[in-house]
Amino acid sequence: MTAEEPKSNPYVGLRPFEREDSRFFFGRRGQTIELLEQLHQSHFLAVVGGSGCGKSSLIRAGLIPALLGGFLVEERDRWQIAMMKPGDAPRHNLAVALAGLGEKQPEDSKIEDLSEEIFQNHTQAVVDHILPLLGDDNNLLLLVDQFEEIFTFRGKEDEEEFAERSREQRREIARRRAESDDFVDLIIELGGRMDLPVYTILTMRTDFLGDCDIFYGLPEAMNRSRYLVPRLNRQELRDVTNQPDPFNITWPTTTEDDTVMPGESS
């Protein structure tokens, strides 16, 4: 490195770690392994934790690089990643994420067509879209980040307040409830398809756990496969603060006797 080259900061601050930050992502090796073990048993996983605990970073800079590095490989050894947030249009945002698998900047018309197909044919529309793109050697990881946004989109379950709204407002509330119910049902059904090379992960804040029962099947799905992100212990905190070094990075290697996860020095 020459004196003119700018120094890179290995600490990302308050923003989540991304996949390209994985070489600076330390202290979460054990948690990443636990996620891999759960995904090996189930194609659906809810990652739950308090606000700011690092749920998104754990998936984006821990789990995803591990998957791309060859962990959890069976007969398929390549991965495609689709990431989305429900936001204020969960079906449309799902269509955007899935349309991006085939091309980096899909046309708006293709996104709208896929969104309409999902509306009409539900899970089958998603399956019909992704299987030709995956081929014989690809898996798909669908990450629904900040899943708690679906509760805000759907709105509160208050029938008295609903009755007091105008006709147009009631129609919009009913539309949002129907769309959110369909979206959650699709995510659960897709995550339950063990015959497909598709793995579904959602991240959610713990303070929304009590709201899950407004969606049929969601509590049951989360009870079958849920990971509560634990606090870091002293050694892990020491690794988080001391190990990131942009000038002395040892890239991970794998031997028969020593498995090293991305972001951890060998």
The two three-digit tokens of residue 62, written as one number: 């821990």
Q: What is the pLDDT of residue 263?
A: 38
Enclosing H/E stretch for 81: strand 78-84
119 lies in a domain? no
Q: Cα-flanking dihedrals φ and ψ of residue 189, to 5°?
A: -65, -40
- Please state, rounded to an integer, the average pLDDT across all residues of the chain: 80
- pLDDT tens string 100-150: 887 778 889 999 999 999 999 999 999 999 999 998 888 999 999 999 999
122 lies in a domain? no
Q: Does residue 49 surpass a pLDDT of 80?
A: yes
6 lies in a domain? no
> How many domains in the chain?
1
Nearest in space to 129 (alpha carbons), one of 144, 110, 147: 110
Domain that holds residue 84: 35-93+137-231
- pLDDT tens string 177-203: 999 999 999 999 999 999 999 999 999
246 lies in a domain? no
- pLDDT tens string 209-244: 999 999 999 999 999 999 898 776 566 555 555 555
Residue 101 neighbours by CB under 8 Å, 6+ apart = 80, 82, 130, 133, 140
51 lies in a domain? yes
Q: What is the percent of the chain with per-residue pLDDT over 70, rounded to a whole number?
A: 73
Q: Does residue 67 surpass a pLDDT of 50?
A: yes
| Lowest-confidence segment of 13-22, 48-57, 103-112 by average pLDDT | 13-22
Mean pLDDT of 78-84: 90
Residue 185 neighbours by CB under 8 Å, 6+ apart = 122, 215, 216, 217
d(CA 46, CA 264): 25
Q: Does residue 253 surpass a pLDDT of 80?
A: no
pLDDT bucket at 245, cuts 50 / 70 / 90: low
125 lies in a domain? no
Match 């990131």 to its residue by tokens. 244
Q: What is the pTM of this model?
A: 0.79
CATH number of the structural domain spanning residue 211: 3.40.50
The one-letter amino acid code at 201 reads I
80 lies in a domain? yes
d(CA 188, CA 182): 10
